[in-house]
């Protein structure tokens, strides 16, 4: 089968589509023919060489994977050949304390797909049955590739980490990105008043659909002034930051009293330093969040079926043109997700 490897990371990375042996499903495993694989900023950071620690370039990238079951090993009972499935983000044990408490994406012996074990930028992938979720009718196999990350990741951040309540104000930074555009919709589905900040003027029209009248063009400006204007000087109850250090100060100044800021991404690999009183006197919380559990994936599928959440995929790129996908994501030219099609 064909699989994508990063030969030389860098701003202009050398990517290599190589023939490797198609894996064979063992006990309790299934072989999935990959239909679609989302390109995450995490993959782009590895291609770019921004992320090097613990990165093995012999591992196939891609953790946002959907496809059709092509073969099953022994003792596979819940799925069958021909089923459309989405994968979890991690190959997990299902037995440790974290798995049993619904945090299987942080399994103590788990391996992140596309990081610790081969991911989905390939024609096929073998996964344990417990890592595959069959798709309900009404969700396409292409849409499913982005159901765990970024959609499930956004759901966890809003619902379980920020604990957004109906009527609260939520600001999403990087609102045109894969995490951002789905976070906007999920926040609205949770009953929040949503605001989105974006750097890209050409994304405004589409974003207006998800946050009518409340989309802020960030540019070089400090967008907190506009957030304060939108919230009658109260600031946002919740800030979902998908950009990181590049907008940190604006994001922090946008946060209201008792506000919760959830950090979901660090695009530039930068640093911040700030006066701690900004957090203390706001009685604020700043938390990180990553990953999504099987329960989040199922909840996202339900939100799509209920018409409350629309998966946004702007570009479909053949695996052989992965470099184009890299540029689209790096240069923020996409809206929502770019997916690779093997
Ligand atoms: Zn991702
Ligand atoms: Zn575990």
* Ligand 1 centroid, distance to 41 Cα (angstroms): 7
Nearest ligand by distance to the CA of 182: 1
271 or 269, higher pLDDT: 271
* Ligand 2 centroid, distance to 90 Cα (angstroms): 10
Same domain, 157 and 139: no
In a domain, 299, yes or no: no
pLDDT at 267: 85
In a domain, 225, yes or no: yes
Gap between the Cα atoms of 318 and 299, Å rounded: 29
ipTM for the whole complex: 0.98
* Ligand 2 centroid, distance to 111 Cα (angstroms): 10
Backbone angles phi, psi at 280, to 5 degrees: -60, -50
Same domain, 119 and 93: yes
The pLDDT of residue 213 is above 80 = no
In a domain, 232, yes or no: yes
pLDDT digits (tens, 9 = 90+) for 32-59: 999 999 999 999 999 999 888 878 889 9
Same domain, 202 and 72: no
- Average pLDDT over every residue of 310-338: 95
Domains in the chain, number: 2
In a domain, 302, yes or no: no
Nearest ligand by distance to the CA of 64: 1
Nearest ligand by distance to the CA of 177: 1
In a domain, 34, yes or no: yes
pLDDT at 279: 97
Same domain, 270 and 319: no
Same domain, 21 and 130: yes
Closest of 44, 51, 53, 59 to residue 13, by C-alpha: 44
Same domain, 207 and 279: yes
Residue pair 52/41 in contact by the 8 Å Cβ criterion: no
Pair type for strands 2-8 and 14-19: antiparallel
* Ligand 2 centroid, distance to 130 Cα (angstroms): 12
Same domain, 171 and 138: no
From 288, 303, 319, the end of a domain falls on 288
Same domain, 40 and 72: yes
pLDDT at 203: 84
* Ligand 1 centroid, distance to 25 Cα (angstroms): 25
Same domain, 184 and 247: yes
What is the residue-averaged pLDDT of the chain? 95
Residue pair 74/89 in contact by the 8 Å Cβ criterion: no
* Ligand 1 centroid, distance to 114 Cα (angstroms): 10
* Ligand 1 centroid, distance to 267 Cα (angstroms): 13
Looking at residue 208, which CATH number applies to its domain?
3.90.180.10
pLDDT at 209: 83
Same domain, 210 and 279: yes
pLDDT at 220: 60
Question: Poorest-confidence range of 150-164, 262-276, 313-327?
Answer: 262-276
The pLDDT of residue 207 is above 90 = no
**Contacts of residue 299, Cβ cutoff 8 Å, sequence gap at least 6:** 152, 155, 159
In which band, very low, low, confident or very high, does the pLDDT at 219 lie, cut at 50, 70 and 90? low
- Average pLDDT over every residue of 184-197: 94
Same domain, 65 and 157: no
In which band, very low, low, confident or very high, does the pLDDT at 215 lie, cut at 50, 70 and 90? confident
Angle at 340 (CA atoms; ends 215, 189), nearest 5 degrees: 35
Same domain, 249 and 207: yes
Give the single-character DSSP code of 147: I
In a domain, 183, yes or no: yes
What is the residue range of 327's domain?
2-146+311-341
In a domain, 293, yes or no: no
pLDDT digits (tens, 9 = 90+) for 74-122: 999 999 999 999 999 999 999 999 999 999 999 999 999 998 899 999 9
pLDDT digits (tens, 9 = 90+) for 117-142: 999 999 999 999 999 999 999 999 99
């Amino acid at each position: 089968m064909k699989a994508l490897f990063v030969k030389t990371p860098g701003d202009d990375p050398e990517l290599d589509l190589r023939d490797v042996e198609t894996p064979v499903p063992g006990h309790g495993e299934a072989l999935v023919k990959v239909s679609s694989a989302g390109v995450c900023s995490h993959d782009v950071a590895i291609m770019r060489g921004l992320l090097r620690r613990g990165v093995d370039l012999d591992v196939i990238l891609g953790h946002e994977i959907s496809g059709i079951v092509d073969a099953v090993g022994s003792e596979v009972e819940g799925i069958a050949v021909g089923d459309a499935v989405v994968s979890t983000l991690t190959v997990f044990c299902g037995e440790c304390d974290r798995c049993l408490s619904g945090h299987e994406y942080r399994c103590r012996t788990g391996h992140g797909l596309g990081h610790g074990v081969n991911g989905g930028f390939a024609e096929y992938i073998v996964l344990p049955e417990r890592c595959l979720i069959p798709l309900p009718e009404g969700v396409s196999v292409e849409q499913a590739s982005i159901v765990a990350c970024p959609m499930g990741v956004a759901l966890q951040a809003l619902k379980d980490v920020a604990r957004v309540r109906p009527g609260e104000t939520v600001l999403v930074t990087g609102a045109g990105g894969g995490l951002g555009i789905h976070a906007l919709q999920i926040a609205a589905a949770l009953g929040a008043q949503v605001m989105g900040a974006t750097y890209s003027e050409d994304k405004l029209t589409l974003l207006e659909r998800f946050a009518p009248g409340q989309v802020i063009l960030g540019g070089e400006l400090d967008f907190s002034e506009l957030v304060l204007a939108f919230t009658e000087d109260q600031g946002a109850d919740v800030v979902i930051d998908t950009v990181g250090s590049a907008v940190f100060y604006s994001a922090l100044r946008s946060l209201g009293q008792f506000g919760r800021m959830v950090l979901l991404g660090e695009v530039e690999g930068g640093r911040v330093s700030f006066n701690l009183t900004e957090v203390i006197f706001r009685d604020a919380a700043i938390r990180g969040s990553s990953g999504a559990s099987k329960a989040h994936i199922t909840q996202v599928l339900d939100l799509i079926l209920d018409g409350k959440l629309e998966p946004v995929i702007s570009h479909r790129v053949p695996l052989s043109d992965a470099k184009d996908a890299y540029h689209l994501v790096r240069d923020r030219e996409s809206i929502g997700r770019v997916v690779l099609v093997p």
